[in-house]
Structure 1
Amino acid sequence: MAERIDRVTLEDIDFRDFIRAGDFVVWGQACAEPVPLTERLLAQRAGLGGITCFLGIPVADTVRPDHADHIRFISYCGSGNNRALAAAGVLEVYPGHYSTLPAFVSRANVVLVHCAPPDEQGRYSLALADDYLSAAIDSARIVIAEVNARAPATPGSRYLTEHDIDIAVHTSRPVAQSLTPPATPDLTAIGGHVAHLIPDGATLQFGIGSVPEAVLGALGSHRDLGIHSGILTDAAVELIDKGVVTNTRKTTDRGVSVAAVLIGSQRLFDHAHRNPAVSLRPIGYTHDPERLAAQHRLVAVNSAIEVDLSGQVNAEVAGGRYVGAVGGGAEFLRGAARSAGGIPIIALPATAGARSRIVARLSGPVSTARSDAGVIVTEFGHADLRGLTLPERREAMLAITHPDHREALRGSEWQC
């Protein structure tokens, strides 16, 4: 292990001092990426002897296909800039459930983390993500931290101390933000249909993307909602500020919004800073099946690329390219299905351009089995597939298909 250093400048960092040929390197995803460190690592890649880097959801435009000349890239998702890597054939996809990521990254040799400055007790908050980072940190030979004076000190189950950090680089920079574009009319309609299904007092899980954000935007008249989710977003903060989300009826973590990662704007970061009503947790907590099943009225809202007439979900591949992820959708759907009063929901627009997203046969892999299907929602309504036979599911799905595609689908051969 390298000599412990309390504080260095970015220019002092020579990754050849810490990284060995063949090392597996992990860093925080989305807004939690320690961008100055990842940029410097990529700039020095030719001298590192060949390494493997694990990527999550990208927010900053840090990694490019040309960086693969000396680095092997692996990710669990093809979103954002990862799509360019996948299109160039330089991204290897790990197609596992989100709950398996801690075990997958526990092979990490080097971890780059993005932390807030230490509190009065000398503890460094992981600031923007715990998710799979705790598992990587626990196994790593070297932990290199960007200590950003402008990162939120978000309460959670994991803090680092000076004994956990080998090298600390102090910065003061704006955190990379992820902004969701305004909802389109079809997304607004989807949000309204889903909102109608959600009862007051429900605990919400929601995935990433424009569809779940539209759903959250439609919940302004609800009461006493709670949050136990993989992510926390600006739309969720809007509901908290309106008094819609109170977390008072949750079975566990009453009064607290729980998430594994923060993805949003400065408004979200300001909300989370030293806020005891927010808690960052690792995947082993947020995706724990027993904890999910124990939540009263857990409503899971996730999206998909396409759904077939039997309820099978493809959330990974579109047009032959890997653009999504297996993620935690199936795990949350199962948790909601086991929760008393819970509702497992998949919501998606009925079309993508001229193509129907309700299909007779999936054009990609089965990310979620039809045995886990619950309620499917498009802008044309909802199909509750629970308790239906395959012919009954087919008719229910046809009813929420775009009218321009219904007859063609009705007459097509479909996967039974």
Structure 2
Amino acid sequence: MSPAQVSLPAPGVPEDVLHHIGPHAEIVIPIGFGEPPTLLDTLEEHAGELDGVRVHRMDPYTERRYIRGEFGSHLRHVDYYLGPGSRQAFWEGQCDLVPNHFSEMPLLLRRLPPDLIIASAAGPDEHGYFSLGTNADYVASFIGQVPFFLEVTNAQPFTYGQNQLHISQVAGYIRSDRPFPQLTRREPTAQDKAIAEHVAELIPDGACLQVGVGSIPDALLTSLSGHRDLGVHTECLSDGLMHLVEQGVVTGARKRQHRNKHVSTFCVGSPELMRWLDRNTAVEMMPVDWTNDPRTVGGEPNFMSINATTEVDLMGQAASETIAGRYWSSSGGQADFARGAMYSPGGKAFIVLHSTTHDGRGRIRSQLTPGSVVTTLKNTIDHVVTEYGVAELRGASLDERARRLIGIAHPDHRDELRFHARRAGLLLGSAGH
């Protein structure tokens, strides 16, 4: 006997979302591909009818009029991680940025509290469930607590985990054929590949991975093709992780939590990745206040966290959200995973960076550039990796830290770093010579 079919209401029109937005409403949108473009178009088209409405989200890919502040107090953007769509607007003072750890986003949003969540979705299936597709992130924590209005698109894969909503939990939905934004991908350089090889040598078989997105992580995942029984418990699931699953390198067989499953809180990548995610029961999308909680991470043995930074000073402070002292992104989950890896039996956290910028400026510095903010504390830092090697800093004295970091700096900058380290009292005696 076939299962009973759920009677589903027909999709509505985009303007229906306006019925759920009152004066001073606080609206939340998922990160990345979770953006509902048609519904956002509708809010902008009717912005003059809105009163003090704020939209809260992380990492917008697309620049929009409301993000640029074109509607004044009618419709305003509040950011929690600057992306291509909001960076310039923030620099020009047109939107807000709230500092945060990614794991604490649901906690911060509950302080508002949210009135409505609008999101992209897949479905509904024959049982009346929608899936948030590429996303769980901070919005999945509000399922059953806050009304959702969904934009169902063919682009969204139907995924599983704790990111599904029943039709009874949805205030309304529309259908659209809007595609995901185009992402640019930079091919790994020789420096990226050298960094990746250094890290790969320190990752044992059976380890559980959290890997960021970018050319260095892409190179690392390629370098791991000879490993066995790796697991995935990550913030963002990408094409590189998909390829390791397909190669049989990632199985999750030695994981303690969600064994044999690949856990993430959001996904970005190619159309191939989207097809692979669709109806893939091996992937579990979980809320960020669970995936990124250092206590969750610490419960997974041999946890390996790999994230990029822009600068590290000789005490081991990593500035990962500013470039040359100017805000570029935000903290994301870097500190969450670095802290969690400290608690994990056999865990390691890697902070990776090129030794210099494109114009030759050193990224390992005697002091961080004025205006830079510390993302990963000196007390939390573990391994720092450049193309010149690995500096293990956990448990090291200030003298040992300075010497090890100078040893992986670009050779052209090492003498100057030693000079400043001695002046600052970081090097004892002749240890820096």
Q: Given the two structures, how large is their TM-score scaled by the length of structure 2?
A: 0.90
Q: C-alpha offsets along residues 134-177 of structure 1, whole Å, 9 cap, x if unaligned?
A: 2344443x421101233110011231111111121112333335
Q: 1:376 maps to what in 2?
A: 384
**How far apart, CA to CA, are the structure 1 residues paired with 2:314 and 2:237?**
32
Question: Which residues of 2 match residues 3-402 of structure 1 at below 5 A?
Answer: 6-10=10-14, 12-13=15-16, 15=18, 17-62=19-64, 64-67=67-70, 69=72, 70-106=74-110, 107-140=113-146, 142-352=147-357, 353-363=359-369, 364-402=372-410
Query: Unpaired runs of 5+ in structure 1?
Result: none
Q: C-alpha offsets along residues 348-387 of structure 1, whole Å, 9 cap, x if unaligned?
A: 1111122211111122111111000100001111101122
Q: C-alpha offsets along residues 226-282 of structure 1, whole Å, 9 cap, x if unaligned?
A: 100111001111111111111111111111100000111111111111111100000
Q: Given the two structures, how large is their TM-score scaled by the length of structure 1?
A: 0.93
Deviation, 1:390, is 0.3
2:279 counterpart letter in structure 1 = R
Larger Rg: 2
8 Å CA contact 1:26–1:136 kept in 2: the answer is no
Query: Unpaired runs of 5+ in structure 2?
Result: 1-7, 427-433
Deviation, 1:84, is 1.1
1:26 counterpart letter in structure 2 = V
8 Å CA contact 1:25–1:53 kept in 2: the answer is yes
**1:371 aligned counterpart, secondary structure:** coil
Against the structure 1 CA distance between its residues 193 and 71, is the aligned structure 2 distance closer, same or farther, given a 3 Å change threshold? Answer: same
1:357 counterpart letter in structure 2 = R
**How far apart, CA to CA, are the structure 1 residues paired with 2:135 and 2:276?**
15
Deviation, 1:415, is 8.7
8 Å CA contact 1:309–1:359 kept in 2: the answer is yes
Against the structure 1 CA distance between its residues 238 and 367, is the aligned structure 2 distance closer, same or farther, given a 3 Å change threshold? Answer: same
**How far apart, CA to CA, are the structure 1 residues paired with 2:30 and 2:425?**
40
1:123 counterpart letter in structure 2 = Y
Against the structure 1 CA distance between its residues 9 and 414, is the aligned structure 2 distance closer, same or farther, given a 3 Å change threshold? Answer: farther
270-279 vs 44-53, which moves further = 44-53
**How far apart, CA to CA, are the structure 1 residues paired with 2:302 and 2:278?**
28
